[in-house]
Structure 1
Amino acid sequence: MTAAPGRRSSTFTRLLRHGFTDASAAERLLDSPELVPLRDDPVLLDALGATADPDLALLGLVRLLEAQPGPGARRELLDTLISSKPLRDRLLGVLGASTALADHLTRHPEDWQALVMYEAYDLHPGVEEFEAGLAEADDPVSLRVAYRRCLLSIAARDVCGTTGVAESAAELADLATATLRAALRLARAAAPEDDALCRLAVIAMGKCGGHELNYVSDVDVIFVAEPAEEADETKALRAATRLASHLMRICSETTVEGSIWPVDANLRPEGRNGPLVRTLSSHLAYYQRWAKTWEFQALLKARPVAGDLELGEEYVAAVQPLVWKAAERENFVPDVQKMRRRVVENIPAAEVDRQLKLGPGGLRDVEFAVQLLQLVHGRTDTSLRSGTTLDALGALAAGGYVGRADAAQLDEAYRFLRSMEHRIQLFRLRRTHLVPEEEAELRRIGRSLGLRTDPVAELLREWKRHATVVRRLHEKLFYRPLLDAVAQLATGEARLSAEAARERMVALGYADPASALRHLEALASGVTRKAAIQRTLLPVLLGWFADSADPDAGLLNFRKVSDALGKTPWYLRLLRDEGAAAENLARVLSAGRLAPDLLLRAPEAVALLGDGDGGGLEPRSRAHLEQEILAAVRRADGAAQAVTAARGVRRRELFRTAAADIVGSYGTEEQPAEADQGALVDRVGGAVSDLTAATLAGTLRAVVRDGWGDSLPTRFAIIGMGRFGGHELGYGSDADVLFVHEPRDGVDEREASQAANKVVSEMRRLLQLPSADPPLLIDADLRPEGKSGPLVRTLTSYAAYYRRWSMTWESHALLRAEPVAGDEDLGRRFIELVDPLRYPADGLADEAVREIRRLKARMESERLPRGADPKLHAKLGPGGLSDVEWTVQLLQLRHGAAEPGLRTTRTRQALAAARAAGLITDEDAATLDEAWVLATRVRNAVMLVRGRAADTFPAEARELAAVGRYLGYGPGHAGDMLDAYRRTARRARGVVEELFYGITER
């Protein structure tokens, strides 16, 4: 029968509107005799349009109607379709999503009636309901038919949205369980004599064991058997092996009804090379002696499903303790991580971008991350011991092991990826995890997931989005540095019970274990999420604190920081999730007083210890610092508030520098101690000098703005001197400076001088206001005439003084002069003025050399503290900073005019230039450089440890040990450190005596 042209045109348009891609073919199908009663029914088109593939659903419906055994059966189906919306949605939904199930219905046309029921008990069937559905199967062929009939109902609920992806996966696992039981029933019936000899248990593994099976998947199992009463063990195992083999054949072999699924027993001990069936004791012996890490990971999902369930439960109970101790195996975490990388590496290159399961950002990334976290933390937290990925992820989030937002994103992504996987497999019931490339297939998958506007583009976009999230969070969780550290703890240590904690405190060297336990109780007691995360962190942190010279101080400081940031949501999340943040914090809090004091005054600076947007521990440039401080000054009300704001930036950046110094010196699991100690010293000196320059620039701007607006009557510049000008400031160094100004056009010099002096006085006053922050003292004693001369001079006055009165020591001091703040042009002209003095064209006269030597000798005799051991004085002692710097500076004064490389304010750069110019041998240069770096590190270490500056090693044993730890010496090796310092300084002194004092014998 052919439709009239007018109606055909109208139907054609309606078909396109309902999602048909081949409207002409659909029209022909609708005109077929079987569909005459439904041809003009709009309900049918609406139902077809709601399916994943309307063309496929319509074709399947026609085939199903044609396959009905007679007119009566066909009428029954049509009447039910018209009257029952649930059946209509279920049947058409399946036909539009799966050609394989459409084929099954064509072969077994009465099975559509399995979809009629829509009662409460039909919505979420379990193992018992599926067993009832398979009960009449008495051979492998009928078992396959019954299995597909049950599968039909699962797919119908799935595609109609009655069940979610997790529920569908659980139903598939329950159907697999029922099928294994039915197959074992058939195998036993075929060999009752074997059944009488043994007790056989089937243990589901993998996705079946985890209650999260795919539509088409190998069903992983392990077989365990015991002899029946009075049976011989050898005969019993042979009988059990025959039963197990028969069960596998029943499920795996292909018949006219196809296959069910392969049963895979390769997860058993020794894999395919091992016996198919073992006794319980044989399994345990293997796992205790020979099992590899991945085998314990696999046992995480072990679940008895068929056969002797009592024996199966005994098996699971016996292996579970081994599973939850697996994380304590040597290299456990790295082994699991390597295994995941190998899986990715073995994917064919042509498939990587299409792999939904194994590729980067795929299902395995979620599963491996969750399983690794379970195995590490599940040792002590039994709530994590679920074999189901999403349940375990939820437990990890509830316990604080994974951030809620991260867990929610992973959950959403996993559900989406599993839904894609289900729809891909459901189409032909084939085992595949590759996303198809054909547009028609992508369109069907997209529509089946509810994407209707542009199904292909939306599907690919959503897949990419979820895969990106999965990969990011997999990298974050799976390679979390804290994880390996937690895994290395013994179970008792990880549990952190009171008694275990006390014993561990004593063993780790805590001097006051009672106080330490009180801190632990305050931090980790209770049922809050905060306490749960602390219980994860603390066992590891205790070990890191113990690696320092003062574990008690580390734990106390950690409690103070935690109390200060207790209500800040990001703090514990940072320590748990963010790179090496937890270990960095532990090192910083236990390394001495300076860094913890800085942090406790600004606890939010903890964020710098992670890898996020806080900038990490890399020092910020002077330009960046100056920009931030000047912006803070602009916002402030008055100069005092502006300087307070500048101090706040300085405090944070001093902490950043100190923390980077400590981490670079101590090293962490993620980042070993930095080998180039010179680079560490240069980084600290440069960072502190840049920070000081930016702070002075901000203070200068605040003072000028308060007193004169933006029109100071004189140009003003600050010249860094000494270590400041040399970019070599330490944590406690004063800022040596000169102040220079130049009256603006039309301004009286007296007025300009008054303004300049007022600026200097106000800057010094503001910077010396009482504060808990480390002081920033401005020292202008290197100015002309020293303390008796004016604080600030005009450029002309400097020129006149240096022309007429300059002394040798002033030329020497000017070697470090460098503009640091204020008017850049004025600073540049000052440097042009002093260059001829510090790099004299004719070199240095003999009398000048003798004068420099006398000055150095007098300085050492007058300034060396009484009672101090000169050989251990890092600044003035033999081979110390003064020796090296004056030797290098003498070379600069003598040869700077001829050698451009010597024209630098930095000691190490000048020394390298002298070596390059042949003024010093490579060996002597290396000796001086080593001594200078070591002496600088000693001064930095003392400041970090004691919180105040000093030039010699501390006398107190714990402080001395802390300095040793900073310098790379372990417990009990303080004497070795002192011997090494004396040795290095002695060698340097020999070079100084020859190059500086002219003594040729060493």
Structure 2
Amino acid sequence: MSLPSLATLPAALSPLAERALNDIEHALSELGASLAGWPEWRRDQLTRVLAQSYFAVEQIKRDPAMFAALLASGELERALAPGELRTQLAALVAECADEDALSKCLRRYRNRQQLRIIWRDFTRQTDLWGTCRDLSDLADASIDLALGWLHPRLCEQFGTPTGRRSGLPQQLVVLGMGKLGAFELNLSSDIDLIFAYPEGGETEGVKRSLDNQEFFTRLGQKLIKALDAITVDGFVFRTDMRLRPYGAGGPLVYSFNAMEQYYQDQGRDWERYAMIKARVVAGDQQAGKQLQEMLRPFVYRRYLDFSAIEAMRSMKQLIQQEVRRKGMSENIKLGSGGIREVEFIAQVFQLIHGGRDLALQERSLMRVLGTLRDQGYMPAKAVDELVESYHFLRYTEHALQGIDDRQTQMLPDGEQDRLRVAAIMGFADWEAFYHALGERRRRVEYHFRQVIADPDEEEGADALCIGGEWLPLWEEALEPEAAQRQLSEAGFADAEVALRRILDLKHGPQVRAMQRMGRERLDAFMPRFLAQAVEHDDPDRVLERVLPLVEKVVRRSAYLVLLTENPSALQRLLELCAASPWIAEQIARFPLLLDELLNEGRLFKPPLAPELAAELRERLTRIPEDDLEQQMEALRHFKLAHRLRVAASEIAGTLPLMKVSDYLTWLAEAILEQVLALAWRQTVAKYGTPRRADGSLCDPDFIIVGYGKVGGIELGHGSDLDLVFIHDGDSQADTDGAKPIDGAQFFARLGQRIIHLLTTQTTSGQLYEVDMRLRPSGASGLLVSSLGAFERYQQNEAWTWEHQALVRARVLVGCPRVGGAFEAIRAQVLGRERDLQALRQEVSDMRAKMRDNLGSRESAAGTAANAFEAEQPFNLKQDAGGIVDIEFMVQYAALAWSHQYPELLRYTDNIRILDGLRDHGLLTAADVGLLQEAYKAFRAAAHRQALQKQAGTVPGDQLADERRNVLRIWHELGLA
């Protein structure tokens, strides 16, 4: 659309213009300036602007010097060059000495630019998009330069925020949403912002550091104040933060991981709609680009689904409800045929098709409409009418807002303002303008109805064709014989059982109780499921393992939509369930794990330990400190999700055995870190903080020590945790709280709290089973030992088997100082010289007891003559030549020789201790290699058995060479 023509100024407005002109002449004359000698065209422009904008009149009267400078600059007659506006403002901001000066500088510059932009818009020296671009550039520069001014000053006060994982300085990323994101701001827009930062960590460079979350929250608050607060100079931009995750009730700032997790887990359709136009408007542009790539899958989904169509229809209904609200008919944005309907038409196509058509992944409305026309999504005539109507509506919006710098889209009631709007829009009177406006709105309304009604239904019909050959079977349109024949021909080994399973689901109580929408979703899902099931080598197994899951989720049919929408997620589900009944059972018990199947890259590529810990920490920061239930659920969901990822990676072969154990151990450590933090906070809140021997407060002077598999970094699927709790507080001194208790009681209750958080059953299960029997004096001993008591027990009372266990002990989480003291005690206890003959005898006797009690009775714990025959079971862990034999040899060696070679105590895992035995010549390289390969083979087999939900035994003829090698070395060490 061309610019609206300039209408003759209505006679009714002339007296207003004359009075304003006299005031302006008087104000300028006091500066030694004058309107005399102005060319007629310049005076006509001034008269027109003064007649049509209260805001312009007030700004010139309040600050005639600013107006005189603006006139002298020539900027009223020309467009600013790219970057010129930012350069001007940057020079002014650089001179600001404090926040008050920054506030004044931003507001005065904004008023000058707002006057210039309104002048050029109302005098038709620029078009719609020139005005929008100027306003957006002003917003970008104001936000970014204010942020750039505030950030270093906050760093001086609180330190530089630094990423825990990367070790790099962190900067805020500001996302501009809506019209700001698309460079489409109107004359009195507010700005919708979202704040984020790359990763968790703490500030550095000061004595008392801040968590990154807190630092950036403070920075965000200061930035909002710099932009939004109303002072004597007005405001810069009204700032709206309600589009952030959880809206006004959520944290002000989010880490990238927290943002990604929120949109994946809880993002709603309107948030997809809003995120289409998101753009990095300030802060770290490179990091912001990374964030937008992370969020792209949430906005643009690869597959069309029924829920997307349903969401579009729901949005339509919401719009229609708003239209019917009292007074909405005169709102040119929200009313029928208004601005939002044009935008909605474009975004409907973006949400439905944008995942497949990259040309629709575009912020600019005009470019999206051009794509809809050029690629045949809409008729060219319809698009042209929408474009012309949208221009008319946006020009009208600017006319309404430029009158008094007010954020309004309502048509005016007053006669003078109606005359102003008509004149700005190039019409001789209100009636002619209103008629032209009505024509445009009727066109928009017509096209809006056309877009929402049919294309969605047509796409839905296409989607129903996927797996359509199985629809008659599901709908029972086939005779049983024909149905069984179809199943048999498709690859089912037992078609009768398969059909019975399908029909049992359909007629089961869960499905019968479904509402209509859920039943429609199930009817859409089942043909797809059957079509993918028959692609597997064993469709009977797929059916057997996946149908129980389907039955579990039919009452929460959003999960069916997820699988219907994402064929790749459904495919991954079938592959994993076919490979592992353990995974099938886990997903059936906890259907929320289905969300993990959406992102293949993340599913098969778990993060490293620091990222894992940071992700959990950031998840918990979003939960109120007093909401224990949510905290416990978040911990359990985190564990379930990551345990599924490691199992999936193991099955897919993307994670080797040693990395599987590493990952499961890191997961436990990340959870224990947060459990300790929660338990400490809750116990201190109740009783106060305990004291050290010197009277200072503990912080926390407590460690959790891991023994066994977690200590040896060898956790498997379903492993429990062998833990010992140690403190170094004053057991006799009282805490400093309102309900003081002595230190011994405090730490005992802290330990109880930790166990409660780990073992309590919730809807998401428990975190871990915990075994505390390795603490001093076992089950009869104190739950938490003091550091001194632990040392005395280990030096004077512990049995040899307890020292064997100590070989695999290490600090998992807690106070570094106490952890260092524990390591020193461990090294002293294990590193003392021993009687080798007595040691061999004690280790051998303990091993014999374990075999007798825990080994396979059929083969005398693997020592019978026929132990290597296929008919005999071999217990991978307990039988002779198995895992425990290797562990006992390693522990014996560490106890026997660490007084000579203390390096043997550096590590707690068997593989690296064996490396040390080889490096010091205590075992031959060949024997070490055999033991390491045997150990890996046994553990790999145990992992496979666990994923198949089978006992840790294999036929006796399997792994025979490995077992014989282990037994030979066992005998050569004199342990027989």
- With the shorter chain as reference, the TM-score category is 0.3 to 0.5
- Structure number with greater Rg is 1
Name which structure has the greater RCO, CA cutoff 8 Å, separation 6+. 2
TM-score for the superposition, normalised by structure 2: 0.45
TM-score for the superposition, normalised by structure 1: 0.44
